[in-house]
Amino acid sequence: MVFQIQISRFNSSNIIWVGNYSTTVKQNQVLHWSWESELPLECATHFLRIRSMVDDASFPKSTIWSNWSSWEKVDVQDSLGQDTLFVFPNDKLVEEGSNVTICYISRNNQNNISCLLEDEQINGEQLDPHVFAFNLNNVPFIRETGTNFYCQRNKTVKGIVLFVSKVLEEPKDFSCETQDFKTLNCTWDPGRNTDLRKHASQRYTLFEFYSGEKKLCKHKNWCNWQITQDSQETYNFTLIAENDLRKRSVSILFNLTQRVRPMTPFSVSFETVSATNAMMTWKVHSIGNYSSLLCNVELYGEGRMIQQHNVSVKVNGEFLLSELEPNTKYTAQVRCAYDKHIWKWSEWISQSFITLEAAPSVALDVWRNVKSKPGSQNVILFWKPLSKFHANGKILFYNVVVENLDQPSRLEHYTIPAPANGTELSLDQSSYEIRITANNSVGSSPASVIVISGNSTEEVEEEKIKGTEDGFPVSWKPHSGDVLGYVVEWYDCPQDQLCDFQWENVGPGNTSIVISSDAFRPGVRYNFRIYRISTKRIAYLLEKKTGYSKELVPSTKPQVVMNNLTPHSFTLSWENYPTESQPGFIQGYHVYLKSKARQCHPGFEKANLPEITDDPLCCKYKIDNPEQKRFIVENLQPESFYEVQVTPYTSAGEGPGEAFMKVTTPGEESHKLIRILLPMIFCILVIMIACYMKSQWVKEKCYPDIPDPYKSSILSLIKSKENPHLTIMNVNDCIPDAIEVINKPEGTKIQFLGTGKSVTELEFTKPAYLYLLPTEKNSSSPSPCICFENFTYNQAASDAESCGHVLEPPFVPPSQLGLVTSSESLLKTLEKSYMNSLEEIPAEETNLNYVSQLASPMSGDKDSLPTNPQVPVHCSEYKMQMAVPPCLTASPLSEKSSLSSVTLLDQDEHFH
């Protein structure tokens, strides 16, 4: 039977849907049919009618439709209740991207009702005075808890939760395999999860077609299937994925023996590990009668695979790993597969081990730096550390054996702890053979031999080379004799000697090499030395190279000095300019000359300097010789103004120069006048110097300076007994000790007026002494002192008002005193006698000396006077002078300190 159904909305004439429903009808059977409206049934009145027709080939004449049934009305608004606002549908579940119609029913005026979807207001369509409908197209998934839709009027809010789920996907990568022929493990990729918090309906079912069995899976991405013992080998599985909105399925067909994936091996270990070999063992899980497995072994070292092997295993597996490096960490891993049909390999299992150490396998790369000194040589040895591949273990120390080739029996051993890469030796001028080995816990490396010759003094010229981006191309001429090879040495930082000392060995058949280093910097000069190694292992300097990886402009400016200025020329020099320390090879200099001339001088060319914008013409002269540091600017005009500058240049360009030096040439007449005046000034200076020196000589010979007695050196010997810190006495306390009168052999007459007794002329052949002694033996007055007045310096002596103390003379008994008089009378007598003697004796024949008893060679009393007394050391000799101190004439002596006697002794008189 075929049933045709019509559905109308709001009224019977508004037909919105027509459809047919076919089914087999039995007697007294109740049929069920359902239809889902896009508009919730609560939002409108629906009408339905139906008719039927027999659809059977046995009744061909029955293909006529029956009459329509009467309209059946479906209205649920009357059962909603008494609320004034309703929203439908309630808690509807839809897929992401579908279309949904939502409506609200209001029993009051609906002008003031607003509806919002996730807080965003939307507009709808009015279906009748009380119903509004909202069509939501391509609904998005927002959250697992659903999407909120609500309407509000004043304080009344009504709403629903629209549950939007993701679309159920078809399972991907569906596969089944076994590890033991007992269980099939099926896995798949479920894709996006469609479950919501209140609608967790996503589920999977596994169905096997040949057995007709079905199993609901507990997990969303895998499921186990038990293999029966009925020898079934072929399986046809269908995986069904479904939820409340949709159903998906996928199928696979396979043979069981082709879907075997063994379990991961276990108990991996290494036995009998040596420096180069290791035995690897492991175990596998049994897979029943199908027990033959193929295992894959891989060996990794330093992060890369170095070996790979396949091994057939039944229960236990083993494999010998060979050709290993000593003291190296390795990682070995193994996996297995069913050998009859490799479906999939098992998971990897790995284990690490370290091989044992062995003696170093290669000799050290050794080089030396020799500095000769008189009678000795300082040798610095360098060696490059062995690579891990050649060290075969941890290097503990280095052995250095030094053998004197002139005395082979002499061996010196040195042990250098690691990680040193060099040592220093002080040797004499003999030849030495040095052997160096590296040592670890097992043994030593082959010896590196180097010979130091005691008389190697090679000097070769240095050649310039140019660096490139790839480095320095260094080449040399091949040596005609037999050589073991060549060595090129250099410093990565030339400013610091022995810093990053580098060298490269070159085979005997090569005569070139490109030296590259990350340490090379632009503007730095690098020096290379090439040595040839003779068959006796002696290094001979072959060539020297120097260059820059990239030349820069000069960094410093020359200090230019101008001299030899004439009306037509002047000379520029910059002798102290350091060319070696510049960041490039100095190729020459540019001499710039600015003047008001209209054209450049011969040899100069017009130059355009950006910093020169004024009117004077600027010309340039190019000096191509970097060694020329002197230049004469010629063809100048007298009394003219010029500006000059000197700048160096390299292949990279011109460097800085000093500010322009300003020069004004002299005139022709002034130049001639200078030539005349300079010799005259020189002669005058010579005459003045000669006259000055001659005047000093004349002054010393004709009228020398009279010495100041207060500055006499005798004062430094005088010490006061009462106060050792005092060396100068008060003038009033001075008492002369003795007066020495020295006369010519003709004699002189001395008259002492104070005594009333005249002294006749005496022929003095030796000095006579006059002693002035204190009256009392234990007098408390100041001790006798030196107090000698030079009348020429009377004013200075009066200002000084002091004189030097001397030690008290030895005590003389009163019985030994001759002539006695007072000190005042004595002074007067001496003065008169001295003045009278001036008239009788020529000045050049008379000397009057003051002699201190301290300075006299005498000691003790008068008896000790020598027969021929010598002139005292500290004796001052004066001509035409009065030897009477003003301190004695100005201040009379006190009673205790007055002189009690004066004794005039002849040269032949002595005390007895």
Cβ(103)–Cβ(133) below 8 Å: yes
Task: Report pLDDT digits (tens) over 216-232.
Answer: 999 999 999 998 877 78
pLDDT at residue 753 tops 50:
no
Residue 700: other Cβ atoms inside 10 A: 10
Tokens of 415: 């042990």
What's the CA dihedral at 740, 744, 748, 752 to 10 degrees? 0
C-alpha distances out from residue 525 to 379, 465, 548, 584, 594, Å: 25, 10, 5, 7, 35
pLDDT at 819 over 70: no
Confidence of residue 386 (pLDDT cuts 50, 70, 90): very high
pLDDT at 895 exceeding the cut of 50: no
What is residue 715's predicted lDDT score, i.e. its pLDDT? 53
To the nearest whole percent, how much of the chain has pLDDT over 90?
Answer: 42
Lowest mean pLDDT across 334-343, 707-716, 846-855: 846-855
Task: Give the model's confidence band at 879: pLDDT under 50 very low, under 70 low, under 90 confident, else very high.
Answer: very low
More reliable by pLDDT, 889 or 216: 216
Domain 172-256 has CATH 3.40.1360.10: no
Q: What angle do CA 339, 340, 342 make, to 5 degrees?
A: 65
Angle 141-145-147 (CA atoms, 0-180°, nearest 5)?
A: 50
Burial class (CB in 10 A: 0-12, 13-18, 19+), 590: middle
* pLDDT score of 646: 93
- Write the pLDDT tens digit of every residue in 355-379: 999 999 999 999 999 988 888 899 9
| Residue 671 burial (10 A CB sphere; 0-12, 13-18, 19+) | middle
Consecutive H or E run containing 668: helix 668-702
Q: 811 pLDDT exceeds 80?
A: no
User: Which band of pLDDT confidence, cut at 50, 70 and 90, is reported for residue 901?
Assistant: very low
Cis amide bond preceding 89, omega within 30: yes
Does the CA dihedral 852-855-858-859 come out positive or negative?
A: positive
What's the CA angle centered on 37, arms 33 and 41, to 5 degrees? 100
Contact 152, 80 (CB under 8 A): no
Confidence band, pLDDT 50/70/90 cuts, at residue 273: very high
pTM, two decimals, is 0.52
CB 347 within 8 A of CB 330: no
Q: What are 69's two structure tokens? A: 């049934």
Q: Per the structure block, which two tokens stand in for 310?
A: 């396949």
Neighbours of 107 (CB within 10 A): 13
Residue 558 to residues 575, 645, 647, Cα–Cα distance (Å): 9, 10, 7
- Give per-residue pLDDT as tens, 57-88: 676 666 688 899 999 998 887 777 778 888 99
Domain 85-165 CATH superfamily = Immunoglobulins (2.60.40.10)
Q: Label residue 253 by pLDDT band (50, 70, 90).
A: very high
- What's the whole-number mean pLDDT along residues 196-215? 89
pLDDT score at 607:
84
Name, in order, each residue with C-beta under 8 angstroms of 576's C-beta and a sequence gap of 6 or more.
559
The better pLDDT of the pair 869, 306 is held by 306
Spatial distance between the Cα atoms of 267 and 602, rounded to a whole number of angstroms? 97
Q: Tell me the CATH architecture of domain 560-670.
A: Sandwich (2.60)
**Residue 104 C-alpha from the chain's centroid:** 78
Residue 715's identity, in one-letter code, is: L
211-225, 390-404, 570-584, 832-846: the lowest-pLDDT one: 832-846
Torsion over CA: 729, 735, 738, 743 (sign): positive
Q: Is 66 left (phi over 0), alpha (psi -120 to 50) or beta?
A: beta
pLDDT band at 770 (very low <50, low <70, confident <90, very high): very low
Mode of pairing for the β-strands spanning 588-595 and 617-623: antiparallel
Per-domain residue ranges for the chain? 2-77, 85-165, 172-256, 266-355, 366-548, 560-670
- pLDDT, greater one: 873 or 100: 100
Bond into 419 cis (ω within 30): yes
> Do the domains at 2-77 and 366-548 have one common CATH topology?
yes
pLDDT of residue 300: 96
- Nearest-Å Rg of the Cα atoms of the chain is 66
Compute the C-alpha angle 507/511/516, nearest 5°. 85
pLDDT in tens, 427-442: 988 899 999 999 999 9
DSSP 791: G
**Can you say how many angstroms the Cα of residue 674 is from the centroid of all Cα atoms in its chain?**
60
From the options 2.60.40.10, 3.90.950.20, 1.10.10.10, 1.10.3660.10, give the CATH code of 366-548: 2.60.40.10
Handedness of CA 801, 804, 808, 810 (dihedral sign): negative
Does residue 812 carry a pLDDT above 50? no
- Measure the CA–CA gap between 508 and 512, rounded to whole angstroms: 11
Cβ within 8 Å of residue 714, ≥6 positions away = 786, 804, 852, 854, 855, 874
**What pLDDT is attached to residue 783?**
43
User: Which pLDDT score, from 0 to 100, does residue 339 have?
Assistant: 86
Residues 6+ away with beta carbon under 8 Å from 525: 494, 546, 547, 548, 580, 583
Whether the CB-CB separation of 901 and 820 falls below 8 Å is answered with yes
Dihedral of the alpha carbons of 774, 779, 780, 783, in degrees to the nearest 10: 30
Within 8 A by CB and 6+ apart from 708, the residues are: 793, 796
- Identify whether the C-beta of residue 149 lies closer than 8 Å to the C-beta of residue 115: yes
Q: How confident is the model at residue 890 (pLDDT cuts 50, 70, 90)?
A: very low
Question: What is the SS3 assignment for 849-879?
Answer: EECCCCCCCCCCCHHHCCCCCCCCCCCEEEC
pLDDT at position 380 over 80: yes
SS3 of residue 264 by DSSP: coil
861 pLDDT tier (thresholds 50, 70, 90): very low
Task: Give pLDDT, residue 269.
Answer: 95
- Determine how β-strand 120-122 pairs with β-strand 183-189: unpaired
Average pLDDT (105-112) is 77
The alpha carbon of residue 270 and the mean position of all alpha carbons in its chain are separated, in whole angstroms, by 47
**pLDDT at residue 780 greater than cutoff 50:** no
Q: Give dist(CA 300, CA 320) in Å, integer.
A: 15
Please state the rounded mean pLDDT for residues 520-530: 92
What is the per-residue pLDDT across 558-616, written as a single tens digit (0 to 9) for each? 999 999 888 889 999 998 898 888 999 999 999 999 888 778 888 898 887 766 545 56
Most confident among 55-59, 704-708, 721-725 (mean pLDDT): 55-59
Task: Collapse the DSSP code of 56 into the 3-class scheme (helix H, G, I; strand E, B; otherwise coil) and give the result.
Answer: coil
Q: Element (H or E) spanning 186, and its range? A: strand 183-189
Closest by CA position to 545, among listed 585, 510, 583: 585
Residue 843, pLDDT above cutoff 50: no
Of 461, 460, 488, 485, the closest CA to residue 474 belongs to 488
Q: Which of the listed CATH numbers 2.60.40.10, 2.40.30.10, 3.40.50.2300, 3.40.50.300 matches domain 2-77?
A: 2.60.40.10
Q: Give the model's confidence band at 129: pLDDT under 50 very low, under 70 low, under 90 confident, else very high.
A: confident
Could you report the per-residue pLDDT of 625-675, keeping only the tens digit for each? 999 999 999 988 888 899 999 999 999 999 887 788 899 988 877 666 677
pLDDT in tens, 789-800: 444 444 333 343
Percent of the chain at pLDDT > 70 equals 73
Please report the pLDDT score of residue 289 as a whole number.
67
Do residues 355 and 273 touch, judged by C-beta distance below 8 A? Answer: yes
The two structure tokens encoding residue 640: 């003219």
* Helix (H/G/I), strand (E/B), else coil: 718: coil
If phi over 0 gives left and psi between -120 and 50 gives alpha, with beta otherwise, what is residue 759? beta
| Averaged confidence pLDDT in the chain | 78
Q: Which helix (H) or strand (E) holds 903?
A: strand 899-904
Assigned CATH for 266-355: 2.60.40.10
pLDDT band at 196 (very low <50, low <70, confident <90, very high): confident
d(CA 630, CA 791): 69
CA distance 468 to 474: 11
Look at residue 870 and tell me whether its pLDDT is greater than 50: no
Q: Which residues pair with 7 in a beta bridge?
A: 17, 48
What whole-number distance in Å separates Cα of residue 626 and Cα of residue 628? 5
Residue-level pLDDT at 36:
87
Return the SS3 of 673.
Answer: helix
pLDDT tens digits, one per residue of 406-422: 887 778 999 999 999 99
Tokens of 286: 């049994």
The stretch 206-221 carries a mean pLDDT of 92
What is the pLDDT, as a whole number, of residue 112? 81
